[in-house]
Structure 1
Amino acid sequence: MNKYEILSLIGEGAYGIVMKAKNRESGEIVAIKKFKESEDDESARKTILREVKILKMLKHENIVQLREAFRRKGKLYLVFEYVDKNLLEIIEENQNGIEPEKIKWYIYQLCKAINFCHMQNVIHRDIKPENLLISLTGSLRLCDFGFARLFSNKDPMTDYVATRWYRAPELLVGFPYDLSVDMWAIGCMMAELIDGQPLFPGESDIDQIYCIQKCLGMLIPQHQEAFQRKKEFSGLKLPKIQKLESVEKRYQGKIDRNAIEFIENLIQMDPSKRLTASQALQHSYFNDVVIDKRPQTSLSIERGRSAFSSNYYRPKISLPVNPSPNNTQQKKSQKNYLSIPPDKKRFVVKEYGKVYKKHLTHVGERHEVKGNNPAFRITSNDLHRRKVDGV
C-alpha cells in the first residue's frame, strides 16, 4: 500500500470498502477495493479470484479497467481506474429524470459493454445504477463483476443474484436462466432514468412479481409452474391484477414511441423474446446516436444542459477514454478546467462518502402480507439506504 496515497473513502458495502487513492509513482488517481474477508477465507478468495479472472478477459472502453490486484496483511485489494460518478448519483441529482438524449447515450454505451461481455460468454448478473460509472465527459464504465460468471448451459447457477428491482421473473421464481437476465436489467434501469423512479420497486420477492405483473401481465406458464414449486412461495398464489399499467401509459409524452418499444423489447416476460445485446445495438432507437470516430476519444461536450446540473459552463474538450498522466491532451484539458471561474466548478467537484437515499414509488393494490414466509421478507437494505456496491 506504500505505492498509494489514500485520499478519501468512496463507499462501503457487504464486501468491504472502496477508497480513492493516488499512485505515488505515476500520479494517477485510482479506486482501491479492499475486501473484509482475509485470503484465508476460501469462499471469499474463490469469488475474488473469479472476479479478477473475468476482469482480465474484459478489455473494453465501457468496462472499468483493473490496474492490479495484491494482498497485504492477509487482506485482498483490487485497484481500478478512477471514474468520477456513478449513475445512482446522477439519478439522485435529477429526481424527475434525465434528458432523453443522455439516456440514449448511456444505454448505448451499456449495451456495447454487455454485448462485449456476452461475446466472451460472461454474464454480469448485477446491472444497476450503482454499478455504472460515469466520467465528467459522459463516458460510461460497467463495474462490479463480483456476481459475474462464465455462462454455461451445463453448470447450474444460483438464482439469488441481482438486486431485486432489476431481477428478471425467472430469477424470482427459481427457473433456469441465461444471458437475457442482463437485458431485462438494462430495460428496468433505462425506465428508471426517464422519471427517476424504479420501474418495479418491489419490497419483497412476491411484491416484485406483483409489480412486474401489474405492468406486463401474468408470468409465462413455465414461470408460473416454477413459482408453485418454489418452497419460499409455499401456500401462496400469484397476485391477481385488475388493471394493467403499461410501459406506454407510464412514459407516454416523456419519451418517443421508439424508446418505449425498445424498453418493451428488453422486458419481455419470455426470455427467448427479449432483445440480445447485439440486437439491441441494431435497434432503430440508436439510429441517431453520433459516435466520435477519432481513435481513443469520447463524446465532446459543450455549453448546454447536463446530467450534473441544469445550467453549467464547460470548455469544449474531448478527453481520452483511457487517459494517462503524461498524456498531452489530458494536460491541455486540465489547463482548460483550471481556467473555469471558481464559482462555476461546482458541477465538477464532488464530495464522496455521502449517504445514498433510496427512492421509493408507491404502488397501490398491495397484496396482504401475513406470517413469516421468506417471500415477504424485507431486508435492511430494502428499508434503509443504498450504499455504493462496487467500484
Structure 2
Amino acid sequence: MAEKKYFTVPSGQDLQVLRGSRLSSRSSDYIVEDLVGNGAFAKVAKCVKSATKEMVALRVVKIHTKSDLQREHEILLKLRYFNPDECNFVKWHCSFMYKRHLCQEFELLDMSLREFVTMRPTRSLHLKEIETILYQLATTLEVLKRLQVAHSDLKLENIMLVDHVRQPLRVKVIDFGSACNASNTAHGAYIQTRWYRAPETILGLPCSEAIDMWSLGCIAAELFLGHPLYPGSCEYQMLQFMIQTQGQLPGYFLSAGLKTSLFYWRTWINMWTFKKPHEYGTVPFPYNNCMIGSLDGLKEIHQRPDRHLSKTEAVVDEADLENFVELVKQMLHLDSTKRITPSQVREHPFMTQRKLIAKEDESNTVHTQPQETRNATFALTT
C-alpha cells in the first residue's frame, strides 16, 4: 500500500455500493449484503467474502487525499502490533484498490453504541454499564497514547458493540480515518465532531492525545445523562457551555490559541473577555441547551434504583456516583496538560472501588460485568 498506489477520487465519481454488488480484490470477491454505514468520507457495507465465505465489513473510501490515506494506513499498520481483542479496537484484515477507490476489510461488528443507547427508554446507561465501557475505551486510548496517535473522532457512532446479545457491553473502537500522529497535528486543524471537540481544538492550540480523553469524558456524561453534555450548534456555543459548567478558561491557555480572538476580546496580557453573541456574529438559535449548571450537577441526576442490589452494593452505587462525577471532571479538565491519562482512568476509584467492595461482600450475588470483558489481559509489547 505504497503512497503512489493511492488516488484521489474526483467529485461525482462516487462508487455505487448496493445490495448484490460485487467488489473484487486480487484474492477474493466481496458480495454486498447490506449498506450499514454511509458517512461524508466513506461508506461501510456488510459483505460475504467469497474466498472464505465469512461475513466482513468493507469500508469504501469516497474522497480523500493521498497523504490522508497513507497516514491512516501507517496507523493501521502500527495497530497490528497489538491484539485488537485485548485492546478493544476493530480488527483490520487488508486493503485493496477497486475502481480507484480504497477498500478496507475489517471484522464485522454488531451495532454502534449510538444505536444501542437509542434502544433504551431513557437513552442512558447505569453506572455499572458505563464503568465497563469506559474501562475498555481507556485501554484503547492507552495504546494510542503509547503510539502518540490521536483517534480525533471518538464518538458514540465510532464505538461498536461486538455482539450485544452474546457479549453484552463488549465494545471496540472503529474508524481511524481521522487518526493522526499527535505531534504532527496542525494548529487550528478542523478535527473532532463538534459535540466531542476539545477546547484546545476549538481555540487552535497544539493538540495531543488528550483530545481523545476530552471526547471520552463527553461520551461518559452522555451515556449517563441520555443526551449530549455540550450540544452546541456552533463552536461559540460549545465554549459557552464549557464556561457555564466549568468557568472561564485560563488566560495563559487562551493566549496560546490561534483562534482565540474569534471568540474573545483581549483586555490585557493573559486577560480575555468572552464575546457576547452579537459581538461574535451570527449565532444559530440553540436547538438544545446545556442542561446542567456545573459538572457537579451530574450528581443531581438520579437513576432508577436496582431492586436486586444488596445493601452493600447500594452503598457502592452511591459512592460510584461521586467517583463517576470526579472522573468526568478530570477527563474534561480545560487545560489538556492537566487532563487525566488513560492509565489513570483505569486505576481511578470509579473503576476499582466496586471490585474491592465486592470482595468483602460474601454474598456476591451481582457481578458487575463478564470476567473476560473487564479483566482482559492488556498486552502492550510489540
- Say whether the fold is shared (TM-score over 0.5): yes
The one-letter code matched in structure 1 to 2:274 is L
Deviation at 1:223, TM superposition (A): 3.4
Matched, 1:238 2:259: no
Deviation at 1:157, TM superposition (A): 4.5
Matched, 1:56 2:77: yes
**Structure 2: distance between partners of 1:217 and 1:235:** 17
Matched, 1:199 2:226: no
The percent identity for this pair of structures is 28
Distance 1:287-1:318 versus aligned 2 partners, 3 A rule:
closer
1:140 aligns with: 171
Q: Is the 8 A contact 1:228 1:234 kept in 2?
A: no
Deviation at 1:107, TM superposition (A): 0.7
Distance 1:228-1:45 versus aligned 2 partners, 3 A rule:
closer
Q: Is the 8 A contact 2:263 2:274 kept in 1?
A: no
Mapping of 1:366-381 within 5 angstroms? none
TM-score (norm 1): 0.68
The one-letter code matched in structure 2 to 1:208 is M
Distance 1:155-1:101 versus aligned 2 partners, 3 A rule:
closer
Mapping of 1:65-84 within 5 angstroms? 65-84=91-110
Matched, 1:112 2:112: no
The one-letter code matched in structure 2 to 1:55 is L
Deviation at 1:27, TM superposition (A): 2.4
- Find the residue that maps to 2:57 and give its secondary structure: strand
Deviation at 1:121, TM superposition (A): 1.3
Query: In angstroms, what is the RMSD of aligned CA positions?
Result: 3.2
Q: Is the 8 A contact 2:188 2:203 kept in 1?
A: no
Q: Which runs of 5+ in 2 are unaligned?
A: 1-22, 267-272, 277-290, 304-319, 356-365, 374-382
- Find the residue that maps to 1:113 and give its secondary structure: helix
Q: Deviations over 1:15-34 (max 9, x none)?
A: 13110111122222111111
Q: Is the 8 A contact 1:18 1:31 kept in 2?
A: yes
Q: Which residue of 146, 157, 161 corresponds with 1:130?
A: 157
Matched, 1:209 2:239: yes
Q: Is the 8 A contact 1:133 1:143 kept in 2?
A: yes
Q: Is the 8 A contact 1:217 1:244 kept in 2?
A: no
Q: Is the 8 A contact 1:210 1:239 kept in 2?
A: no
Matched, 1:271 2:336: yes
Q: Is the 8 A contact 1:169 1:223 kept in 2?
A: no
Deviation at 1:158, TM superposition (A): 4.5
How many positions carry a matched residue from both structures? 293
**Structure 2: distance between partners of 1:127 and 1:170:** 16
Q: Which residue of 216, 219, 222 corresponds with 2:252?
A: 222
1:358 aligns with: none
TM-score (norm 2): 0.70
Distance 1:244-1:68 versus aligned 2 partners, 3 A rule:
closer
Identify the structure with the greater strand proportion: 2
1:262 aligns with: 327
The one-letter code matched in structure 1 to 2:192 is A
- Find the residue that maps to 1:19 and give its secondary structure: strand
Matched, 1:9 2:30: no
Distance 1:93-1:304 versus aligned 2 partners, 3 A rule:
farther
Deviation at 1:318, TM superposition (A): 7.8
Deviation at 1:131, TM superposition (A): 0.6
Mapping of 1:277-292 within 5 angstroms? 277-287=342-352
Q: Is the 8 A contact 1:83 1:134 kept in 2?
A: yes
**Structure 1: distance between partners of 2:137 and 2:214:** 13
